[in-house]
Chain A
Amino acid sequence: MKFRKQRIPLNALVGILIVGAVALAAVLSQFWTPHDPLRINFGSRLRLPGGSYLLGTDEFGRDELSRLMAGASTSVWISLLTVSFSIVAGSIVGVLTGFLRGWTDRIVMAFNNALLAFPGLLLALGLLAVVGANQYGIILALGLAYTPAVTRIVRGTVLSLREKEFIESSRVLGNSELYTMFRHVLPNCTAPLTVLATSMFGWVILAESALSFLGLGVPPPAPTWGNMLSSARPFMAQASHLSILPGLCIALTLLGINLLGDAVRDWLDPRMKGVQ
């Protein structure tokens, strides 16, 4: 395909910068952090930012910056895997049911709607009780909890796509139903999927912190932005930076991902080429 040189729009650039910085911090934390994020030091509890602890310390005297960096790697990793899991599972189920219709569709969608009617977090809690509260348990539980929403949206898009003439045109060429589904139907779902994936990223980070708050998140002492936020709650008055900093990290990351998501959606859409 011919490469078209285009100016990268400003919002995409900001998105790339933010997401890049977060990813860099997450990777870096695997090799180096200013202090050990897990080392407890009661001599320096609840320090304010400044000095050798650049962003202060928490209620156990652990370095906040180191914990934020380490937290980035767990939070981002969990969200990434969870979102990928639901998108892949939801797309496959959504395309199959939406395209094939009939009994498959009815049975799967009845089940799907039942899951949707059930609060996602409650569902995740139940699943966690079964699979155990660890990083991969959380991914599985949240992933399954968010899959019905993806299925629903993909199916809706597929229902309108399957009536288009280009789908019939593919059939007339002798392509199998499976090929048609994954070559013609699925790629045309990318726009709603990218929008959904980017907003889901935010939901997952928040859900993970909610789970941590209930004691079912990533078990301490390993830091995640969510459990840092919830453990900072009693110290809101004395050390507000402990709440503000992880919250800011979550908000900034979400902003970055949303900007990037919009840019990716436009970039994947051939109709947007040459516009601007």
Chain B
Amino acid sequence: MTTTPLVSVEGLTLAVGAGGREIVRQVSFDIAPGEMVGIVGESGSGKTQAARAIMGLTPPPLVRTAGRILFEGEDLAQARPQRLRELRGLRVGMVFQEPMTSLNPSMTIGRQLGEALALHRRELPPDARRALILDMLARVGIRDPQAALGAWPHEFSGGMRQRMMLASVMLLQPALLIADEPTTALDAVVQRDVLELMVGLTREHRTAVLMISHDLPMVARFTQRVVVMRHGEVKEVGNTDDLLARPQHPYTRELLEAMPRRLPARPVAQEAPVVEVRNLVVDYPGHRRLFAKAQAKRALHGIDLVVRPREVVAVVGGSGSGKTTLGRAIAGLLRPSSGEILFRGRPIARSDPQWFDYRLQCQMVFQDPYASLDPRMTIGQLVGEGLRLLRNMSAADKARRVQEVLDEVGLGSDFAPRHAHELSGGQRQRVAIARAVVRRPGFVIADEPVSALDVTVRAQVLALFAELQKRHGFSCLFISHDLGVVEQVADRVIVMQDGRVVEQGSRDAVFDHPQQDYTRKLLSAIPALESTDSGGVRLRWRFGAAVAA
């Protein structure tokens, strides 16, 4: 069956200025009406710009130096700006990555949703527009659409905002929806819900979807075809299942290999715990006003956990589950309201003389490698700072240790005089890890250490982390919302929801026989990988039916 494609991109080349560097080179792909196509690639692969070119929304320095974009047979590259404006919104809609900033904070939801209708469907009377908006809000799962009309964006969570964004785009029933990393900023469960909603809505209206993402399994779940891009070029195009099962291009294979997968369980000796937390309660104080005090919010309701020597304990949960608060409290960055933290059997409190020793023994790797390194210090200074408080270590020994650790994390001493801004995200996270392990700590808390990284870089950093952990034998509390990563690194898993531990157990027990609905829901958002003979993988989705029912 040959249908005319809805969109046909032919040999598209985008460059910075007419003779400048080419960001996108000779990219071609088609989208059939109602089809879901994914573009997968890492940051800098040109995937976003290639997709934006369809709407004529590439940022100014980028110019199209070659190729055509046909939309329903019409060459958009030749279209006047006036015509492009007519198409935008009405025929082609777009959902952006960051739900926190893609809605105007100073407009009510009702007005924002009405904006597009008022522009493109002028013939409708206001009442009819309003009815359409209410219908659509109900369809995307907003509980009280009537109230939502008058509400402001900040009153809703990220997931809710992304639903509204979707509603505002789908109101006009476009022929094509471009979704640029639509759920990257959301946690796994919300992500899946929003995507399922998107798929449902677009099927109803026979809208084609171009989904842009770095997350291959997520794209694979929903699309029929995938375009793999790297360095501005299309490396492989194909039917999603075939492409996963029989990858042709080495880069596709690399992407598949980078997907986290389960490693054989390690035996963990039942030794005395390194860190033990008993009935930990943390409250966030309410905002103090001049004459009153808003009510305090309880973030953790009595958490108990133990971490044994050389063990990696993962804490998982959605956003707002209290997992980051738990890590910060154990690291001593937050003062718990009650409860005890024991380090090697001794209770730790700030007034305790052992506190300082604990401080030196317990280190932390933060989530955002762009914010966790002081921009004014060199890499050498940053890593060396960890040794500053070791009094009985000579300066020469310290210098040697810094060198050694930089080598260990695969950076080498060439990096010592550089500043953080000269490094890529993955290199920065290596520096952050070097900073944490330079003092040879007994316990490391890693708070979402790889969520800000691209998939292949993520795999490298995780491998580095595992190797260092094996070599130096520190225990680790690994905080993450990404169960795929957890499945790879954890010995034991603790599942948190609303500040409480809802389930805990060995990794295999939690992943294979979860006891709680919430755990099942978390697990249903990530695939299990099965390798195929041809070097690819097959994705198996867990509990899909159980949760849907």
**A residues touching B (Cβ–Cβ < 8 Å)?**
1-2, 164-166, 168-175, 184, 187-188, 190, 270-271, 273-274
B371 within 8 A of A: yes
**Can you give 7 contacting A-B residue pairs, CB < 8 Å?**
A168-B333, A172-B331, A172-B332, A187-B374, A187-B376, A271-B421, A274-B422
A169 touches B378 (CB 8 A): no
Interface pair B421/A172, CB less than 8 Å apart: no
Nearest CB in chain A: distance from B326 CB, A: 15
Which of A166, A174, A271 sits near B356, CB closer than 8 Å? A174
Give chain A nearest CB distance to B249 CB in angstroms. 35
Given contacts A165-B366, A168-B366, A190-B376, 7 further A-B contacts (CB under 8 A): A1-B417, A2-B417, A169-B364, A172-B333, A175-B385, A188-B375, A271-B419
The yes or no answer to B386 lying at the interface (CB within 8 A) is: yes
Q: Which of B376-416 contact A (CB under 8 A)?
A: 376, 378, 385-386, 388-389
Q: B359 contacts the other chain (Cβ, under 8 Å)?
A: yes
- 1/0 per position for B342-358, CB-CB distance to A under 8 A? 00000000000000100
Given A173-B388, A174-B389: A270 and B367 within 8 A (CB)?
no
Chain A residue nearest in CB terms to B363: A172
CB of B210 closer than 8 Å to a CB of A: no
Contact A174:B359 (CB < 8 A) given known A169-B372, A270-B375, A270-B376: yes
Contact of B419 among A166, A170, A188, A273 (CB under 8 A): A273
In this complex, how many residues of chain B approach chain A with their Cβ under 8 Å: the count is: 31
Task: Verify B371–A166 contact, CB threshold 8 A.
Answer: yes
How many Å lie between the Cα of A188 and that of B371 in the bound state?
13
* Cα of A187 to Cα of B374 in the assembled complex, Å: 10
Known A-B contacts A164-B371, A165-B368, A166-B371; A173 and B376 likewise in contact (beta carbons under 8 Å): no
Within the complex, the shortest CB–CB distance from A57 to chain B, in Å, comes to 52
> Which one, B328, B386, B417, contacts A173 given CB within 8 A?
B386
Q: Point out the residues of chain A lying under 8 angstroms from B386, CB to CB.
A: 173
Query: B441 → chain A, closest Cβ, in Å?
Result: 10
Interface of A: prevailing SS = helix
Closest residue to A274 on the B side, CB-wise?
B422
| 5 interchain residue pairs of minimum CB distance | A165-B372, A174-B359, A270-B419, A165-B371, A165-B366
Measured between beta carbons, the chain A residues less than 8 angstroms from B331 are 172
A-B contact number at CB 8 A: 68
- Of all chain B residues, the one with the shortest Cβ separation from A172 is B364
Question: When the two chains form the complex, which single residue of B363, B385, B439 contacts A170, counting CB atoms closer than 8 Å?
Answer: B385
Contact of A171 (CB < 8 Å), options: B333, B360, B422: B333
Question: Which of B356, B362, B376, B432 gathers the greatest number of chain A CB atoms within 10 Å?
Answer: B376
Point out the residue from B356, B376, B388, B421 that lies within 8 Å of A188, measured CB to CB: B376
Q: Is B323 an interface residue (CB 8 A)?
A: no
Known: A166-B372, A184-B374. A270 touches B366 (CB 8 A): no
A166 touches B333 (CB 8 A): no
The reply to whether B435 and A169 contact each other, CB–CB distance below 8 Å, is yes
CA distance A188 to B375 in the complex (A): 8
A271–B389 touching, CB < 8 Å: no
Q: How far is the CA of A190 from the CA of B375 in the complex (A)?
A: 12
Interface string of B7-39 (1 = CB under 8 A from A): 000000000000000000000000000000000
Q: Is the CB of A166 within 8 A of B373?
A: yes
Also in contact, A175 and B389, with CB within 8 A (given A166-B371, A271-B419):
yes
A41 to B422, CA, bound (A): 65
Bound complex: CA A132 to CA B432 (Å) = 55
Contacts of B359 in A (CB 8 A): 172, 174
CB pair B388–A175 under 8 Å, yes or no, is yes
Using Cβ atoms and an 8 Å threshold, which residues of chain A touch B366?
A: 165, 168-169
* A2 to B432 alpha-carbon distance, docked (Å): 22
Contacts of B283-311 to chain A: CB distance below 8 A: none
Among residues of A, the one whose C-beta sits closest to the C-beta of B362 is A172
Contacting residues, chain B, for A175 (C-beta < 8 A):
385, 388-389
Measured CB to CB, the nearest residue on chain A to B361 is: A174
CA distance A159 to B386 in the complex (A): 25
| Closest chain A residue, CB of each to CB of B372 | A165
**Bound form: Cα–Cα A270–B386 in Å:** 21
Cα A2 to Cα B376 with chains together (Å) = 15
**Contacts A170-B385, A173-B389, A174-B360; is A1 near B435 (CB within 8 Å)?**
no
Q: Which residues of B contact A2 (CB under 8 A)?
A: 417
Q: How far is the CA of A156 from the CA of B240 in the complex (A)?
A: 51
Hey, which chain B residues are within 8 Å of A187, CB to CB? Answer: 374, 376
Q: Which residues of B contact A173 (CB under 8 A)?
A: 363, 385-386, 388-389, 435, 439
Q: Which of chain A's residues have a CB closer than 8 A to the CB of B432?
A: 169
B316 to chain A, nearest CB (A): 21
> Which residue of the partner chain A has the closest CB to B389?
A174
Residue on A nearest B364 in the bound complex, by CB: A172
Q: Which residue of the partner chain A has the closest CB to B380?
A: A1
Residues of B contacting A188 in the complex (Cβ-Cβ under 8 angstroms):
374-376
Task: List the A side residues contacting B439 at CB < 8 Å.
Answer: 173
- Give residues 422-457 of B contacting A (CB, 8 Å): 422, 432, 435, 439
Instruction: Map CB proximity to A onto B488-524 as digits: 1 under 8 Å, 0 otherwise.
Output: 0000000000000000000000000000000000000
User: Complex formed: what's the CA distance from A274 to B421 in Å?
Assistant: 11
Q: Which residue of A lies closest to B374 (CB)?
A: A166
Q: How far is the CA of A168 from the CA of B366 in the complex (A)?
A: 9
Q: A90 to nearest B CB, angstroms? A: 20
Q: Looking at B328, B373, B375, which has the most chain A CB atoms within 10 Å of its CB?
A: B375
Taking CB as reference atom, which chain A residue is nearest B387?
A173
A188–B372 Cα gap in the complex (Å)? 14
Residues of chain A within 8 A of B389, CB atoms compared: 173-175
> Distance (Å) between the CB of B392 and the closest chain A CB?
15
Cα–Cα distance between A271 and B377 once the two chains are bound (Å) = 11
CA distance A270 to B376 in the complex (A): 6
B252 shortest CB reach to chain A, Å? 34
Residues of B within 8 A of A174 (CB): 356, 359-360, 389
